[in-house]
Structure 1
Amino acid sequence: MGMLRVVTINVQNTEGDPRRTELINRELRRLEPDLVALQEVLDNPQRHQLDELLDGTGLHGTHQSAAMSYAPPWVERYGGGAVATRRPHQVVECLDLRGSDATDVPWCTLAAVVPVPDEGELLFIVASSSWRLEAEAARERQALALTDLDARHRRTLPTIVGGDLNAEPDASSIRYLTGRQALGGRSAYYHDAWAVAGDGPGWTWSVDNPAAGEVIDQIVRQPNHRRRIDYVLIGSWHAHPTAHCRVRSAELAFDKPMDGVWPSDHFGVVVDVEIGIITPPDPRPPAS
C-alpha cells in the first residue's frame, strides 16, 4: 500500500499582496504533497502563475488552459483550475460548468489519471463550483456533473477529489456528495476527509483571515462569518470494491500569516491517506 499527501488551496489569483504567490510556493515545498488541487490560478500571456507556484517543488502541473481550446469569460482576471502531481499525470477531461444559473464561473473542473507506484492508477479531480451564496441550485447541477465525470474515468484505486466547492457540509450539494441526500433521483457517496480525521470546525473561509475580510464584507455583510467550503473527498467502497483509501490525517494549511502576509483568502486543507489494492482471501483450503 502507498501513502499520499493531498493538498487543496484556492490561491486567489494575484489579488492583494504580490508576495502571496511566493509564500504559497514556499509552503508547498515544505508540505511536499503528492496531489495538489489549485483554484483561481492565473494564466495569460503576461503571467503563468502555475509555474511560479510549483517552482522547485518537483511537481508536474497542468492548468485548465492547456486542456481547453477556448478561454471562458473572466478567466484572464480570476484564473482557473490547475492540477499538480508528484508523478506525471494525464488529464483526461476538463469540464466547463457554466450555465444560465452560473455564467460567471471561469474555474473549470479537471480530471487527471495519476500512477501510484506498486498499486495502479487513481483518478484525481480538481473541482470548483459556483461561488454566489444563492447559487446552490447551480452547485447541485455541478455536483451531479462531478460524479458523472468520475464515473466516466474512475480507476480501480479510489478517486480523490480536491477543491473549493463553495458550500458548507450541510448544503444539498455536499450532502449529495457525502451520501446524505439524493439529487434528481440519484445518489453518491464520498468520504469527507475532514469529517473522518479533522479536528474542530475546519473553517476555510473566515473573517479570522484578514485576506478574506474585504470580500466577506462585500458579499456576506454579516459579522463573524466562517464556513468550511474547501474539501478533500475520497471515493468509497461501492465504486471501488477491491481497493481502499484510508484517511490518516486532515489539517488546515496556509492558515497563518507568513512574514506578516496571509497566503490567500482561503485556508487550504492537507490530507494524508493510505491507499492500496485489497488482496482477496485465498479460496483454497490450507495445506495439510
Structure 2
Amino acid sequence: MHLRVLTLNVWNTRGDAAARTALINAGLRRLAPDLVAFQEVLPDQLPVLLDGTALHGTHQSQTSAVQPPYVDRFGGTAVATRWPHRVTEVLDQRGADAPDVPWLTLAARVPLEGLGEVLFIAPTLSFRPGAEAVRERQAQALADLDSRHRTALPTVIAGDFNAGPDAASIRFLTGRQSLSGRSTHFHDAWEIAGSGPGHTWTAANPNATEDIDRLIRQPHHHRRIDYVLVGSPHAHPGARARVRDARLAFDKPVDGVWASDHYGVVVDLEVGADPVAGKRPAGS
C-alpha cells in the first residue's frame, strides 16, 4: 500500500497568516498526503488548513487535559490523516528547564485497509540550541511511547525535532548510539531517499531569518531538523515500510509568499506485510 507522509511546522499565525494558511491548504490539496504532522498550529487554524482536503484532524487541545501556556500564541501539535484515527496517548514533554514550550506529542493509531493499524507519532522537541540534553530525554520518551502503542506495521514518526542528524537525540533514534544504556532503531527517510542536504530551517527562507538571528546570531545558518522516521525490522519483523521517495515541500515562495519559516518534508512509503518473514530460519 502506498502511504504519503508530510511534516510541516506551520509557524502559528506569524507573518501574513491568512496568505500563508491559504498557501498551505493549496499545497495539501496538491500533495494529497495520507498522514500529516503539524507543529505550531493554533486550534482554530487547523480546520482552515484542512478545508477541502478530506483529512481528519486532531489538535492537542482536543485530546489533552493538560493545556500548556502560550498555545494561543505559539500553537501546538496536530495530526491529520486520510482515514479516521484514534489518539492513544498525548505525551507532555515539557521539563523544569523548558516549562514554557506549549507543544505536546500525539500518538495515534490509523487503520490501513487490509493491513491493520499503523502507529503515527507527531512530536515537537525542545527548540533551544543548547537543550540537547532535554532532547535526549525526549527522544528516549518517544522510544517508550512507541513501545507502548506500536502495531505489527512499522511505526511512523514525523515532526520537528529541532536537532541536526549529528545530534545525540537523532543518533539514538536512528540506531547510531545508545543513551542511558538503551538503544533503538528507526530509519531516517531522508537519508534513504532524499537528495541533497535537505535543510528545513535555513536563512535562505526570509520567514526564518528573525528567529535565526535571535537564537543563532550567525549568518547563513541552515540545518535539517524536520524528520520522517520509520520503524525498522527489529520492532516489526512481520512487515515493512519501504521508503520510495523523500523531498522538501513548501520550500519555494508563491507570488512572494513563503508558507512557513520551516520547509516541510514529504515521504512516500510502500507499506505491507513482509512476504519472506515467515520463511526465515529462527534467529535470522
Common fold, TM-score beyond 0.5?
A: yes
Aligned match of 1:84: 80
Residue 282 of structure 1: CA displacement? 7.4
Deviation sequence 1:45-90 (CA, Å, 0-9, x none): xxx0000010000000000001111310111110000000000000
Residue 101 of structure 1: CA displacement? 2.3
Deviation sequence 1:12-68 (CA, Å, 0-9, x none): 00110121111111100100000000000112xxxx000001000000000000111
Aligned match of 2:54: 58
Partners of 2:263 and 2:276 lie apart in 1 by 40
Task: State the one-letter code of the partner of 2:106.
Answer: L
Residue 279 of structure 1: CA displacement? 3.2
Aligned match of 1:286: none
Aligned match of 1:227: 223
Percentage of pairs with the same residue: 64
Contact 1:25 1:53 in 2 (8 A): yes
TM (normalized to structure 1)?
0.95
TM (normalized to structure 2)?
0.96
Contact 2:172 2:183 in 1 (8 A): yes
Deviation sequence 1:135-160 (CA, Å, 0-9, x none): 00000000001010000000000000
Is residue 30 from structure 1 mapped to residue 30 from structure 2 by the alignment? yes
Deviation sequence 1:130-183 (CA, Å, 0-9, x none): 000000000000000101000000000000000000000000000000000100
Compute the RMSD of aligned alpha carbons. 1.0
Task: State the one-letter code of the partner of 1:182.
Answer: S
Aligned match of 2:234: 238
Partners of 1:36 and 1:278 lie apart in 2 by 25
Say which SS state the counterpart of residue 170 (structure 2) adopts: helix
Contact 2:237 2:277 in 1 (8 A): no
Say which SS state the counterpart of residue 147 (structure 1) adopts: helix
Out of 118, 125, 128, the residue aligned to residue 122 of structure 1 is: 118
Partners of 1:268 and 1:104 lie apart in 2 by 25
Partners of 1:282 and 1:100 lie apart in 2 by 47
Deviation sequence 1:117-136 (CA, Å, 0-9, x none): 11111000001100000000
Report how many aligned residue pairs link the two structures: 278
Deviation sequence 1:201-233 (CA, Å, 0-9, x none): 000000010010111111111011000000000
Q: How do 1:1-288 and structure 2 match up within 5 A? A: 2-18=1-17, 19-43=19-43, 48-280=44-276
Contact 2:4 2:269 in 1 (8 A): yes
Say which SS state the counterpart of residue 48 (structure 2) adopts: helix
Query: Hey, which bits of structure 1, 4+ residues long, moved more than 4 A?
Result: 280-283
Contact 1:168 1:227 in 2 (8 A): yes
Structure 2 gaps of 5+ residues are 280-284
Contact 2:238 2:277 in 1 (8 A): no
